[in-house]
Structure 1
Amino acid sequence: MPVSEKKLRSNPAWIKRHLTDPFVKKSVQEGYRARSVYKLMEIDDKDKIIKPGMSVVDLGAAPGSWTQIVKERLTDKDGKIDGKVIAMDILPMEPIEGVHFLQGDFREQEVADKLTDLLEGEKVDVVLSDMAPNLSGVAAADAARCLLLNELALDFAKENLKKNGSFVCKVFQGSGYSQYVEACKKTFRKVSVRKPEASRSSSAEVYIVARDLK
């Protein structure tokens, strides 16, 4: 039988690793909603993607750790957000002050219309995607689900980014990975692959950083 993600997370070994994870402990101490925040921090420290004045969309945002760091990096010395932060997810998310949250499938017209209204017809500077499907434990099926989400995120970025905009996307190395990287290279002028320290070495995940939409 396939092993559900929920079942994996009830596994004693998973629980022990989670509780002893230094990034989990650090995220709790620093008030972030998930350890994944440190992945985006490292990527942005290196690639300088998020800058004051920008509009940023965070796809698959829940529980909101990436959104938290985006807000921090757009906030000026007076505590005001210099730019616009829009978080989107099919799951609910606890509110973050100053952040616009759209719940629903970003492929649906109703959600797309709400995004257009928020942006007042403008395009965005950055699209972020840390999306991942619920894992079944069947490698081939999970890889296909991941690739589909990646392709949907890239389509969203093409549709909604300004010219020269940037796209950061979590991908999993496996079937279809090299073709996806090539698709990004056809769409953006600069494409890099990052493996942040907070990405577990045992994980096949890496992050595509694509800049300068053609």
Structure 2
Amino acid sequence: MGKSSKDKRDLYYRRAKEEGWRARSAFKLLQLNEQFELFKGISKVVDLCAAPGSWSQVLSRELYEVQKNPNGQIVAVDLQPMTPINGVTTLQADITHPKTLQRILDEFHGELADFVCSDGAPDVTGLHDLDEYIQAQLILSALQLTTCILKPGGTFVAKIFRGRDIDLLYSQLSYLFEKVICAKPRSSRGSSLEAFIVCLNYRPRPEWVPKLELDKSTEEFFEDANIGKSKNLEFLDLPNDERVIAKFIACGDLNDTDSDATYTLEGRREVLDPIQMPTSPPYKQALEMKRRGALVRNK
């Protein structure tokens, strides 16, 4: 979180800096937990698409400071590097790669996770249909890994973009979890399509052994799981009994900060330093080239 941003008057943005969170998204997980008690009884946790690490910060505080759980373990995975967080094992890895699955299982000494979450999202293009499709594929990739590492009865939470055919995803998830709920935290802007799918009580499919393979697509991975039509994008006109409408719940205190509003700060405004400097900013290479004199503007 830098000093300058279009969100600089967003009070969640400022509160994140004041409270030491790396990003305002920490409040989304906190508000989801207030509604669903996601952290109750958890010990082994996997945070997918974790950078810059605000959700891992929340989980670290919960397991080690609030619960004081001596057996707690948190593994955070992202393609981007992450600055270390107390009690969190960070893996710079691809969530679709079998080696990543094995590295997580090695960290847990072969045991399975109680809770898997993903706050990942693509760089949005503004083309809603494309953004929704890419996000759905990202969720399915996270779900692939989740089915391999989540214990029966466990919980899966992931960011979604609500679109025209989101109920197809709800339908697939309902085969794997007892309850599937769409939740909108107060800290998530109402003007955004963003929401979070909360999947409770994982139920592995009978006689299906999920196996993560490098050359398999998400369609092929779930082909034998019998969780609805595998090629669902080719069958959008499904009968009503194959479509699922997930319960929608708004999370967070209605009297709390409105994430779509801007506020005037009273008195002199203090500029707060970033909690975490970028670990691999896109402009880093350009700065290095400039120092070497290799960056020349064409005349």
Which category of TM-score, normalised to the shorter sequence, fits these structures? Answer: 0.7 to 0.9
Provide the rounded CA distance (Å) in 1 between the counterparts of 2:86 and 2:65: 15
- Equivalent residue, structure 2, for 1:108: 97
Where in structure 2 are there 5+ consecutive unaligned residues? Answer: 204-299
1:59-138 to 2 correspondences below 5 Å: 59-76=48-65, 82-138=71-127
Counterpart secondary structure, 1:19: coil
TM-aligned CA deviation for residue 82 of structure 1: 4.4
What's the TM-score once normalised by structure 2's chain length?
0.64
Greater relative contact order structure (CA < 8 Å, 6+ sep): 2
- Equivalent residue, structure 2, for 1:188: 177
Provide the rounded CA distance (Å) in 1 between the counterparts of 2:124 and 2:195: 17
**Alpha carbons of structure 1 residues 53 and 47: separation in structure 2 relative to 1, 3 Å:** closer
TM-aligned CA deviation for residue 193 of structure 1: 1.3
Q: Note if contact 2:159-2:196 (Cα within 8 Å) is conserved in structure 1.
A: yes
Bigger share in helix = 1
- Equivalent residue, structure 1, for 2:196: 207
TM-aligned CA deviation for residue 153 of structure 1: 1.5
Q: How many residues align?
A: 200
Higher alpha-carbon Rg? 2
- Equivalent residue, structure 2, for 1:167: 156
Q: Note if contact 2:93-2:100 (Cα within 8 Å) is conserved in structure 1.
A: yes
Where in structure 1 are there 5+ consecutive unaligned residues? Answer: 1-13
- Equivalent residue, structure 2, for 1:152: 141
Amino acid aligned to 1:94? T
Q: Note if contact 1:146-1:171 (Cα within 8 Å) is conserved in structure 2.
A: yes
TM-aligned CA deviation for residue 79 of structure 1: 5.8
- Equivalent residue, structure 1, for 2:166: 177
Q: Note if contact 1:86-1:102 (Cα within 8 Å) is conserved in structure 2.
A: yes
Aligned CA RMSD, in angstroms, stands at: 1.8
TM-aligned CA deviation for residue 139 of structure 1: 2.0
Amino acid aligned to 2:188? S
- Please, which of 42, 45, 49 is the counterpart of residue 38 of structure 2? 49
Counterpart secondary structure, 1:198: coil
Moved over 3 A (4+): 76-82
- Equivalent residue, structure 1, for 2:275: none
Provide the rounded CA distance (Å) in 2 between the counterparts of 1:53 and 1:201: 30
Percent of residue pairs bearing the same amino acid type: 34
TM-aligned CA deviation for residue 122 of structure 1: 1.0
